[in-house]
Amino acid sequence: MSHAVRGLGIDVGSTTAKMVAVGSNAEMIWHWLEPAEPRVEEQVARFLDKAAAALGPLSGIPSVATGYGRGLVPAMRRVTEITCHARGVYREFAVGVTLVDIGGQDSKVIRVGSRGETADFSMNDKCAAGTGRFLEVIAQRLAVPLERLGPIALGTSEEVAISSTCTVFAESEVISLIARGVAVGAILRGLHRALVKRVVAMIRTVGLVAPLVLSGGGACNPAICQLLAEETGMAVHLPRHPQLVGAHGAALIALEKDAD
């Protein structure tokens, strides 16, 4: 093994659990991602075993946990996803950015300052619209695999307006559109537009400052990337590992704390 692990970041989200190990130069040397399981402690223990198998013994390595399940992770410190994402994205881009993270349970917009600090942030309110869950529900209803949603939406120029911003009501709207014989592609394009518009409203609350970066599971969906660029009139940049930004940031904080 060429790199010694110096910090671990564990991001337990609502949909996926991620782990990143960084070396002494803050470079990502190992990572793991899998669907989140209800038994967080067991899953994290398994992660640690995998990491130890790949990297060697981990005792004494500082670790930081983030994400909704962070309270259940045996880590040195727990830090919110906002701070971890800001740290992770700054490490990769090294400039102030507006980061949009579309996760399974929440979406957030973080304005990262020129020194990597969180200058402002906004999160979706008590509603699943504007999050990955919105698309998951619809994918299930349309019997389309999640990863095919974006390509199908982009495969057509037709688009129907989805008037409801509520996930549950949007689902009923989709059912009635299908009943009226509207093409699935047009429905999906409209759904992506509705989600992106909601995210853009959040971006406006913190103020859009270029460059615009998209992370989270939503960044794996090409329709979200394209429509976000259309709606903001700005190029959308993707991190190398869009779903690992938070876990990477957590590992970096662990590394910094160790250096302190």
Residue 87: CB minimum distance to other proteins, A: 10
Residue 160: CB minimum distance to other proteins, A: 30
Helices 132-142, 184-206: axis angle to 10 degrees equals 170
- CA-CA distances (angstroms) from residue 207 to 38, 50, 199? 36, 41, 12
CB-based contact 17:37 (threshold 8 Å) = yes
Judged by CB, which is closer to other proteins: 12, or 225? 12
User: Among 55, 82, 100, 109, which residue sits at the site for other proteins (rule: CB under 8 A)?
Assistant: 82
Helices 81-93, 245-259: axis angle to 10 degrees equals 90
User: Among 81, 92, 101, 173, which residue sits at the site for other proteins (rule: CB under 8 A)?
Assistant: 81
In the DSSP assignment, the letter for residue 238 is: -
Asked if 120 is part of the footprint of other proteins (rule: CB under 8 A), the reply reads yes
Asked if 117 is part of the footprint of other proteins (rule: CB under 8 A), the reply reads yes
Return the H-helix or E-strand segment holding 102: strand 97-102
* b/e map 151-175, b = 16+ CB within 10 Å: ebbbeeeebbebeebebeebbebbe
In the DSSP assignment, the letter for residue 196 is: H
User: Among 16, 43, 63, 83, which residue sits at the site for other proteins (rule: CB under 8 A)?
Assistant: 83
User: Among 126, 161, 181, 233, which residue sits at the site for other proteins (rule: CB under 8 A)?
Assistant: 126
Paired tokens of 135: 């698309």
Asked if 24 is part of the footprint of other proteins (rule: CB under 8 A), the reply reads no
Tell the burial category of 59 from Cβ atoms under 10 Å away from its Cβ (0-12, 13-18, 19+). Answer: exposed
The residues in 173-192 that bind other proteins, with binding defined as CB under 8 A, are none
Asked if 118 is part of the footprint of other proteins (rule: CB under 8 A), the reply reads yes
The residues in 56-75 that bind other proteins, with binding defined as CB under 8 A, are 68
Helices 167-179, 184-206: axis angle to 10 degrees equals 160
Asked if 260 is part of the footprint of other proteins (rule: CB under 8 A), the reply reads no
Asked if 98 is part of the footprint of other proteins (rule: CB under 8 A), the reply reads no
User: Among 207, 210, 230, 238, which residue sits at the site for other proteins (rule: CB under 8 A)?
Assistant: 207
Residue 147: CB minimum distance to other proteins, A: 28
Give the Cα separation of 188 and 148 in Å (integer): 10
Judged by CB, which is closer to other proteins: 84, or 184? 84
Asked if 14 is part of the footprint of other proteins (rule: CB under 8 A), the reply reads no
- CA-CA distances (angstroms) from residue 27 to 23, 24, 64, 116, 244? 5, 7, 16, 17, 13
Residue 5: CB minimum distance to other proteins, A: 25
- The residue range among 57-65, 96-104, 116-124, 141-149 that interacts with other proteins, by the rule CB under 8 A, is 116-124
- Given the rule CB under 8 A, which residues bind other proteins? 68, 79-83, 117-118, 120-121, 123, 125-126, 205, 207
